[in-house]
């Protein structure tokens, strides 16, 4: 059994992982919800018989259609348009609802689940990050992901699921549209404070190769730590 499931597969990191696994002749099941046609990456790999794409919200997926995945990479996210508490609460409730569904499925299938998070949860702290440091995010994206991490950990433990959290800086050559939108909100609503935060967080990147190698190590059980932080 080598099947892999990727939520948020249409994002650039999702596409990067998807292509890597397909090149290794692994069946990839991808979930994303696109409100437009003509996604270049999906169009290119859509003819591959090993790729199975579900253009649906997570709550509407027929999970019985997915053959038991060895590993689930959870990248699905939604970005807020403002810092308004009501909208952030709605975004987080939806994220947690989706996350619980995926973790519950992981428990049923005895699958490992990996949440891709961000080093933005550390705020202004520069690497190397102390293992015992409590995250103190000071950006909207970092705050949202730290909240997701907390819920993810609690839920995975409740369902007795094998899980990992991978905190990464930007991956060279890959856009993170959710982070970019969150930064735009910060810039508009924090009167320039986010400019300094952005300069600090964007100063560090990792290569695509390092990201892929680290994901493979987690899949193969070569990393035992629950939280993995990557930096060059």
Q: What is the pTM of this model?
A: 0.90
Q: Which residues contact 37 (CB under 8 A, 6 or more apart)?
A: none
Mean predicted confidence (pLDDT) in 55-84:
92
Mean pLDDT of 194-222: 78
pLDDT tens, position by position, 1-25: 589 999 999 999 999 999 999 999 9
Residue 196 has pLDDT above 70, yes or no: no
Distance, in Å, from the CA atom of 99 to the CA atom of 120, rounded to the nearest integer, reads 20
DSSP 3-state of 40: helix
Specify whether the CB–CB gap between 173 and 208 falls below 8 A: yes
Output the average pLDDT for the chain: 88
Among left, alpha and beta (phi > 0; psi -120 to 50; other), residue 231 is: beta
Preceding amide of 66 cis, omega within 30? no
More confident residue, 70 or 186: 70
Distance, in Å, from the CA atom of 230 to the CA atom of 169, rounded to the nearest integer, reads: 7
What pLDDT, in 10s, does the model give residues 26-42? 999 999 988 766 676 77
Return the pLDDT at 43. Answer: 74
130-146: average pLDDT: 87
Is residue 202 scored above 60 in pLDDT? no
CA dist., res. 115 & res. 193, Å (int)? 28
3-state secondary structure of 98: helix
Res 108 pLDDT > 50: yes
Query: Which stretch of 8-22, 73-87, 188-202 has the lowest confidence by average pLDDT?
Result: 188-202
Of 3-12, 169-178, 210-219, the range with the lowest mean pLDDT is: 169-178
Give the pLDDT of residue 197: 47
């Amino acid at each position: 059994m080598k099947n892999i499931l990727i939520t948020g597969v249409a994002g650039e990191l999702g596409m990067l992982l998807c292509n890597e696994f397909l090149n290794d002749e692994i069946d990839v099941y991808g979930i994303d919800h696109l409100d437009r046609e003509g996604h270049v990456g999906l169009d290119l790999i859509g003819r591959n018989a090993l790729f199975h794409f579900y253009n649906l919200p997570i709550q509407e997926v027929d999970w019985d259609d997915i053959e038991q995945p060895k590993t689930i990479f959870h990248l699905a996210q939604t970005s807020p348009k403002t810092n308004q508490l009501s909208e952030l609460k709605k975004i987080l409730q939806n994220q947690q609802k989706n996350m619980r569904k995926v973790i519950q499925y992981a428990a049923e299938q005895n699958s490992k689940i990996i949440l891709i998070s961000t080093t933005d949860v550390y705020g202004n702290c520069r690497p190397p990050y102390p293992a015992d440091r409590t995250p103190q995010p000071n950006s909207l994206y970092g705050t949202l992901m730290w909240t997701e991490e907390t819920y993810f950990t609690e839920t995975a433990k409740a369902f007795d699921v094998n899980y990992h959290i991978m905190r990464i800086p930007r991956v060279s050559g890959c856009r993170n549209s959710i982070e970019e939108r969150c930064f735009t909100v910060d810039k508009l609503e924090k009167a320039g404070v986010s400019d300094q935060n952005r300069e600090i967080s964007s100063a560090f990147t990792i290569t695509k190769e390092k990201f892929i190698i680290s994901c493979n190590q987690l899949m193969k059980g070569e990393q035992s730590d629950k939280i993995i932080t990557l930096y060059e």
